[in-house]
Amino acid sequence: MAGWYQRTAVFRWYVFLAAFAILPNLPLLLAGRWLNLLVSRTFDLDYLAVALLALFLPRAATCLLLMLAIAVDFIGAACTTYLFSPSEFINSMRFGGMLSTSEAAAISVTLFLVVLICLLAALSVPHSFMRLERRSAAGMLAASLVVLSLVQAIYSPGHPFSGEERSFLRMPSESLVHRQWIYERYQRGDRLSNMHAMPSASAIALHSVPNSSRALPNFVQILVESWGNPKDEALRKALTAPYSDAKLLARYRVLAGTMPFEGPTTSGEARELCGTHTGFNASHGSVLQMQHCLPMRLRGMSYRTLAVHGFKGAMFDREVWYPQMGFQEIWFEDRLKALGMPECPGPFGGICDAAIAAWLEARLSQPDDQPLFVHWVTLNSHLPVPVPSPLDHPVSCTVSAASRGDASICSWYQLVSVVHASVVEMALGQQSRLTIFVIVGDHAPPFDRQEERSSFSATEVPYVILLPKTPGGGTLSGN
């Protein structure tokens, strides 16, 4: 009996708890800023559940299970930051090879850190326990999990942009299951009801397209990456100030307001192109559903349809569903680069927004028997934005307290301002026919700090519509 006691490892509680309650939290806490992930709560309860299982599992199994829990933790943070459902994010992981070199390097360092921590945590578990020690440890961990889970449920956070963080605990496994359940229920509703309707800025502008085919205007829809609605009134006004230009007002009637948003950029595209909630699943729409989207509808009115995006067409499968939706002419990074257009840095480096605006201005000046419908998704303000912004002549950030006091918001403001200034220049250029412009945000900017996120509306994005004035001084009128 004495020999058995000598062979049994001493169970050091302080080492075991530190290994599972502290060490596994470090990768996300340390790498969250590298990867632009929102991490506002310190302790992950899933790691205590792994610790409970580690009392009964081999070390190798414990190591693998802990790696899985850390992966779930990162997926949960990414879904919260970028407004994905779990299945959407897992689907998007195949696009990881398109990330910038710096982002890829940060991921590689993080993976090394995760493996090292999992090995250290597994080694903290003794090979064998005395029966009483195992029972006591399991009972205390189980009780702690129940109590802390109740605390986490009571003080669970609200919307990721609301700024309501009242707990230091997180349980990504539970939140991911809940998020996916909501998503699946939503998708089932979409399929049963032929896609829920969603208001859009493009639908407002479409009412101004005349019924007559004799003088149809061009229709340019611009989805601005991460153009959210700032709560700071000065910043909000500064962003739309270019549309108050006297020359612009002489040629256009300007409408402005907000639209509800949900999900990532593809959800914004589905909202503005189809007036639906389909979002990431746009490529799964039926032929009948696609007929109700703008490209097909406008083709039925003799429009030629063009889609342009400064990044790779494989991203989010746009090269697949753009043609399915009815776009006849499609330009992605490869074709635009072949024209000699400059590239701008960022997490997804691609063609500069200002260069695309100048190219579109030239297209709109070319005479054509058919009116043109343009869908342009901007790129350079995709978060995480470079700080400082890589612009030769950025606008001043002294326009508001929000942009003046935060370097990331300042850079974001400067990059979004480039789009608005470029659109105004495009709208004032020579055009072969009258042109309607719709400029609208896709979603709020997904900053990795709660203070920055809470500086923007959690539910709405801004829009500006430019309705051209007719030679007689009026504006276009449709139905």
DSSP string, 460-473: EEEEEEEEEBPTTS
Per-residue confidence (pLDDT) for residue 2, from 0 to 100: 41
**Is residue 454 within 8 Å of residue 38, measured between CB atoms?**
no
Q: What is the mean pLDDT of residues 153-176?
A: 65
Q: How does 271-295 read in b/e, with b if 16+ C-beta sit within 10 Å?
A: bbbbbbbbbbbbbebeeebbebbbb
Cβ atoms within 10 Å, residue 395: 21
Beta strands in 92-217, from DSSP E residues, in sequence order:
169-170
Sequence-separated (6 or more) residues with CB below 8 Å from residue 311: 98, 332, 333, 348, 350, 351, 379
Q: What is the mean pLDDT of residues 389-413?
A: 94
Tens-digit pLDDT profile for residues 225-268: 999 999 999 999 999 999 999 999 999 999 999 999 988 999 99
Per-residue confidence (pLDDT) for residue 183, from 0 to 100: 74
Higher pLDDT: 463 or 157? It is 463
Q: How many residues does the chain have?
A: 479
Per-residue confidence (pLDDT) for residue 163, from 0 to 100: 47
Higher pLDDT: 332 or 182? It is 332
**Is residue 461 within 8 Å of residue 261, measured between CB atoms?**
yes
Q: What is the mean pLDDT of residues 354-359?
A: 97
Per-residue confidence (pLDDT) for residue 56, from 0 to 100: 86
DSSP state of 61: H
| 68 has pLDDT over 80 | yes
Tens-digit pLDDT profile for residues 14-27: 677 788 888 898 88
Single pTM value for the model:
0.85
- How far apart CA 463 and CA 441 sit, in angstroms, is 7
Sequence-separated (6 or more) residues with CB below 8 Å from residue 479: 207, 211
Per-residue confidence (pLDDT) for residue 155, from 0 to 100: 65
Q: What percent of the chain has pLDDT over 70?
A: 84
Q: What percent of the chain has pLDDT over 90?
A: 51
Per-residue confidence (pLDDT) for residue 168, from 0 to 100: 67
Q: For CA atoms 23, 27, 30, 36, give the dihedral sign.
A: negative
Confidence band for 129, pLDDT divided at 50, 70 and 90: low
Question: At 160, which amino acid appears?
Answer: P
Q: CA-CA-CA-CA torsion for 150, 154, 155, 157, nearest 10 degrees?
A: 110
- How far apart CA 385 and CA 390 sit, in angstroms, is 9
Q: What is the mean pLDDT of residues 302-330?
A: 94
Relative to beta strand 43-44, strand 169-170 is parallel
**Is residue 53 within 8 Å of residue 65, measured between CB atoms?**
yes
Per-residue confidence (pLDDT) for residue 193, from 0 to 100: 47
DSSP state of 23: G
Q: Which structure tokens are listed for 76? A: 């949960």
Bridge partners of residue 258, in order along the sequence:
462
Looking at every residue in the chain, the average pLDDT score rounds to 85
| 443 has pLDDT over 90 | yes
Question: At 7, which amino acid appears?
Answer: R
- How far apart CA 250 and CA 197 sit, in angstroms, is 35
Nearest residue to 161 via CA among 366, 438, 416, 461: 461
Per-residue confidence (pLDDT) for residue 5, from 0 to 100: 40
DSSP state of 282: G
**Is residue 82 within 8 Å of residue 101, measured between CB atoms?**
no
How far is Cα of residue 311 from the mean position of the Cα atoms in its chain? 15
**Is residue 462 within 8 Å of residue 286, measured between CB atoms?**
no
Higher pLDDT: 78 or 129? It is 78
Least reliable range by pLDDT among 144-153, 312-321, 389-398, 411-420: 144-153
Q: What is the mean pLDDT of residues 295-310?
A: 95
Per-residue confidence (pLDDT) for residue 265, from 0 to 100: 93
413 vs 14, 162, 238, 239, 417, CA distance in Å? 48, 20, 9, 7, 6
Q: For CA atoms 56, 61, 62, 65, give the dihedral sign.
A: negative
Tens-digit pLDDT profile for residues 257-277: 999 998 899 999 989 998 877
Give the three-state DSSP class for 144.
Answer: helix
Per-residue confidence (pLDDT) for residue 283, from 0 to 100: 57
Confidence band for 158, pLDDT divided at 50, 70 and 90: low
Per-residue confidence (pLDDT) for residue 194, from 0 to 100: 47
Phi, psi of 169 (to 5 degrees): -105, 150
Q: What is the mean pLDDT of residues 349-368?
A: 95
Per-residue confidence (pLDDT) for residue 71, from 0 to 100: 92
- How far apart CA 128 and CA 6 sit, in angstroms, is 11
Q: For CA atoms 100, 103, 107, 109, give the dihedral sign.
A: positive
- How far apart CA 323 and CA 353 sit, in angstroms, is 23
End-to-end CA gap in the chain: 93
Report the phi/psi class of residue 350: left, alpha or beta, with left for phi > 0 and alpha for psi in -120 to 50. beta
| 478 has pLDDT over 70 | no
Higher pLDDT: 171 or 119? It is 119
Per-residue confidence (pLDDT) for residue 156, from 0 to 100: 62
Ordered by where they begin, the domains of the chain are 2-186 (no CATH), 196-468 (3.40.720.10)
Tens-digit pLDDT profile for residues 172-219: 887 888 788 877 766 555 544 445 578 899 999 998 887 765 689 999
Q: How does 3-32 read in b/e, with b if 16+ C-beta sit within 10 Å?
A: eeeeeeeebeeeebbebbbebbbebbeebb
